[in-house]
């Protein structure tokens, strides 16, 4: 399979959501035009994205919604579950322990860690907050695949270093900091202010 | 000014974060190469993005970090504050009332609303949860510019309709649903599972 760009992967995730919506409504077949409209892109883009993985659709019939959803999920590795650890039991970290979209897509939160003695031992949505100092042992015990960093910006790199040391190969970073990690580790960034800034841009440039 | 693509706007937000990091370290000038490396893109892309707004840098000197940050903030409309309302006082909605990145970028949470009588009247980070049935009056009173939807998927469209009716022109939607809104209203989507799916793809396709 060809190397797929980050933006194609991101659109794949969007297609899954749109297909879910259609399946819930009982829609069995969908055209690239409809998918394009739902996701605010061109039909040519949709067809180009799908062509990376071979042609799924039939001219004149469109794509079968359930088959297409399953195929995209397989491409993204969503045919299985992933064990997830959260570092940082602040507002965001705590909210993510019970985030419906994670559960639905197979991201199972197995572990939440913090370094604050006042937080360690407390319970959040059925999980006990564990001591981040025991990260190596905990990551091994819970067979963690993906770690989420939800600590303040100035601790993010230290936390990332310790996660890498514990064997973690995939990190989602909520701290507003670019992280340095070895080349065999993937880091993705999540910052909810970024989309707000796009709205700020929109409001500032309206006629 | 030319119309700027969503992905350019998103990169602008990333540049602000990288510049912040450099300014904190006392760095006064930065090359497009360094910015490119920090954001995982090419230097040509950085220069192309900046060319949309006129040339900021001097060949051989690079860009002044503080000036560049200010210029990008001006482009994105971040020279002012925006009044924000959150709909939905669940885990995500509550976490966002105290989200540091919003405050730092000038997004001030003025209002959190819910329809659940058990939640209305309760206090979160200094805000009282208000009754969503009074949305028109509350949006007017607090002069809300941007609304955040943090309700379950099947209520999202209804909430969006009511927000639009109350005069809202910019919406950030955390519910996994594409929303139908009039053409003068902007909607951006936030789904934390999307970046997790990119990590799932990475882990599934490693050698």
Is the pLDDT confidence value at B9 over 80? Answer: yes
Residue A102 C-alpha, separation from nearest chain B C-alpha, in angstroms:
6
Indicate yes or no: CB of B176 within 8 angstroms of CB of A38.
no
The pLDDT confidence band at residue B125, using thresholds 50, 70 and 90, is very high
Give B9 or A86, the one with higher predicted confidence: A86
Mutate to test the interface with A, among B202, B206, B207 (most CBs of A within 10 A): B202
- Does residue A82 sit at the B interface (CB-CB below 8 Å)? yes
Q: Containing H/E element for A17?
A: helix A6-24
Query: Which is nearest to A173 in space by CA: A147, A196, A144?
Result: A147
Supply the pLDDT for residue A187.
96
In B30-49, the residues whose Cβ lies within 8 Å of chain A are 38-39
Indicate yes or no: CB of A195 within 8 angstroms of CB of B203.
no
Give A8 or B119, the one with higher predicted confidence: B119
Indicate the CATH number for domain A6-75. Answer: 1.10.10.10
Indicate yes or no: CB of B205 within 8 angstroms of CB of A77.
yes
Q: Which of A33-37, B114-118, B136-140, B180-184 has the lowest mean pLDDT?
A: A33-37
Q: Containing H/E element for B24?
A: helix B6-24
The CATH superfamily holding the domain B82-193 is NAD(P)-binding Rossmann-like Domain (3.40.50.720)
For the question of whether the overall pTM of this predicted structure is more than 0.80, the answer is yes
- Does residue B186 sit at the A interface (CB-CB below 8 Å)? yes
Supply the pLDDT for residue B5.
82
Strand-strand pairing, B146-149 and B127-131: unpaired
Query: Which of the residues in chain A have pLDDT under 70?
Result: 1-2, 54-59, 207
Indicate yes or no: CB of B192 within 8 angstroms of CB of A99.
yes
Q: Token pair of A56, please?
A: 């799924």
Segment B144-199, tens digit of pLDDT: 999 999 999 999 999 999 999 999 999 999 998 889 999 999 999 999 999 999 99
Distance (Å, whole) CA A125 – CA A102: 14
Supply the pLDDT for residue B113.
98
A198 neighbors B106 (Cβ within 8 angstroms) = no
Supply the pLDDT for residue B57.
65
Indicate yes or no: CB of B200 within 8 angstroms of CB of A146.
yes
Closest residue in B to A38 (Cα–Cα)? B178
Residue B23 C-alpha, separation from nearest chain A C-alpha, in angstroms:
13
Query: C-alpha dihedral over A185, A191, A192, A194, to 10 degrees?
Result: -120
A99 neighbors B92 (Cβ within 8 angstroms) = yes
Distance (Å, whole) CA B41 – CA B34: 10
Give me the percent of chain B exceeding a pLDDT of 70: 95
- Does residue B117 sit at the A interface (CB-CB below 8 Å)? no
Residue B52: φ, ψ to 5°: -55, -35
Burial of A163 by CB count in 10 Å (0-12 exposed, 13-18 middle, 19+ buried)? buried
Reduced DSSP (H G I as helix, E B as strand, rest coil) percent helix, strand, coil of chain A, to 5: 45, 20, 35
Closest residue in B to A92 (Cα–Cα)? B95
Query: Which is nearest to A88 in space by CA: A118, A132, A121, A125?
Result: A132
Indicate yes or no: CB of A145 within 8 angstroms of CB of B12.
no
- Which residues fall within 8 angstroms of residue A4, CB to CB, at 6 or more apart? A52, B201
Mutate to test the interface with B, among A10, A97, A199 (most CBs of B within 10 A): A199
The predicted complex's ipTM stands at 0.93
Give me the percent of chain B exceeding a pLDDT of 90: 76
Ranges of H-type helices in A127-189 = 135-141, 156-165
Name every chain B residue with its beta carbon within 8 A of the beta carbon of A189: 14, 195
- Does residue A52 sit at the B interface (CB-CB below 8 Å)? no
Q: Containing H/E element for A148?
A: strand A146-149
Supply the pLDDT for residue A61.
78
Q: Where are the domains of chain A?
A: 6-75, 82-193
Q: Token pair of A82, please?
A: 């992933």
A10 neighbors A31 (Cβ within 8 angstroms) = no
Supply the pLDDT for residue A152.
94
Segment B20-64, tens digit of pLDDT: 999 999 999 999 999 998 888 899 999 888 887 765 666 677 889
Residue in the structure block whose two tokens are 């929303």: B179
């Amino acid at each position: 399979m060809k190397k797929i760009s980050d933006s194609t992967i991101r659109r794949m995730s969007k297609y899954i959501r749109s297909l879910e919506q259609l399946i819930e409504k009982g829609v069995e077949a969908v055209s690239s035009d409809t998918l394009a409209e739902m996701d605010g892109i061109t039909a040519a883009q949709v067809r180009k994205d799908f062509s990376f993985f071979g042609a799924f659709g039939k001219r004149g019939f469109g794509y079968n919604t359930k088959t297409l959803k399953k195929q995209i999920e397989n491409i993204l590795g969503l045919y299985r579950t992933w064990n997830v650890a959260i570092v940082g039991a602040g507002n965001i970290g705590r909210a993510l322990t019970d985030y419906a979209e994670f559960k639905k897509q197979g991201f199972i939160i197995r572990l939440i860690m913090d370094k604050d003695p006042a937080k360690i031992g407390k319970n959040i949505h059925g999980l006990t907050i564990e001591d981040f100092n025991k990260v190596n042992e905990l990551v091994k015990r819970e067979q963690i695949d993906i770690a989420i960093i939800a600590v303040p910006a100035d601790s993010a790199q230290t936390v990332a270093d310790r996660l890498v040391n514990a064997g973690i190969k995939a990190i989602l970073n909520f701290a507003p900091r670019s992280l340095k990690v070895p080349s065999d580790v993937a880091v993705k960034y999540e910052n909810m202010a970024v989309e707000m800034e796009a709205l700020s841009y929109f409001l500032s440039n309206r006629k």
